[in-house]
Amino acid sequence: MNGPAIRTVLDSLNHGLYQSLADDKRAVLLGEDLLDPYGGAFKVSRGLSSAFPDQVLTTPISEAGVTGIAGGMALRGLRPVVEIMFGDFITLISDQVINHIAKFNDMYHGAATAPVVIRTPMGGRRGYGPTHSQSLEKFFLGVPGLTVLAPFNLFGNSPLGSPGQLLKDVILKAEVPVLFVENKLQYLLPLLSKANLDEYEVNTVWDDAGVPAPSYTLRLKSAPQATLTLAAYGYMAHLALGAMRKLAYEMEIFCELLVPTQLAPFELKEVFDSVRCTGRLLTVEEGTFSLGWGAEVVARTAEELGTNLKQAGRLAAREGVIPVAPDLELASLPGDEDIIARVREMVFHHG
């Protein structure tokens, strides 16, 4: 693909889609308003309908219908990718995913699979209001047979682990249905390479509980032993990385950051290993507080480590609708200063 340099997460995802469509004619992209010149609500699909007019299909406004059609395509051997314009609308595809697509493999003992990839942008901080700003992926994390991924903006200079490469691998190789969660603010973040992260030690482990997906552990080089483990994904991991740096350089509080890209099925060995050393765990997510990803991570860590887990906490969105007004919206969602304040509280006020 000849075109502009791949600098951002959006560029990387667009390139991953392009390569998928170019490499395998069975790959088909479906969704609302995908055709050029519009190229999708967040422009991740820009240029694709011009390059692959037979593989990019614009659809009526019916998320359930589009997802059901994609399930049928997958059963017939195609590699369909569904773009849901806003993550809030995945509520409309629940029946197709939970009661059908995710169940086919087990219902038919592997004789029929539906490897549908469902891409959708989640998250707030754009002023879109209560029904266009939510992070609803937690409602799909416990669905048997469904893999949930959330890319992180790491390693633009290497194909391994970049958001676009992860997306391409899922589209062309996964034999299970996948919900691929993208964050609206993450789209324009620069891809971080090893050069960008020169002050950090970065360890990458490939999860094998579902499709191959990287999990990262980041810590500052030559820093003292970390006293707290941060666990976050997607855009919240980006905020946590900044908070971790500020905590170290301004307050001499040292943390490790664990960033999974596979949210379900769970693979928490790296979290367990880190917390065995630090004794403290703080999870950060943009979805609402109750019954979420962080609660499950903390529960499983407590079960695994017992008394070796001295302290655990969770940060998440306020329970309630997300306001349109910028100040109120920011107050309802966890930010880097919230992470810093919670870490300070855990380290200084609880021993």
Any idea what DSSP says for residue 303?
A: H
> Where are the strands (E) in 143-251, listed by range?
147-149, 178-183, 200-207, 213-220, 228-232
Distance CA 30, CA 46 (A): 13
Residue 132 is among the residues annotated as catalytic for this protein: yes
Residue type, 154: L
Residue 92, classed as helix, strand or coil, is: helix
Query: What DSSP letter does each residue of 64-80 carry, written as one string?
Result: HHHHHHHHHHHHTT-EE
**Choice among 132, 238, 349, 350 that is catalytic:** 132
Element (H, E) at 336: helix 336-348
Distance CA 267, CA 274 (A): 13
C-alpha to C-alpha distances, 76 to 96, 112, 113, 114, 269, nearest whole angstrom:
16, 9, 9, 9, 37
| Catalytic residue numbers, as ranges | 132
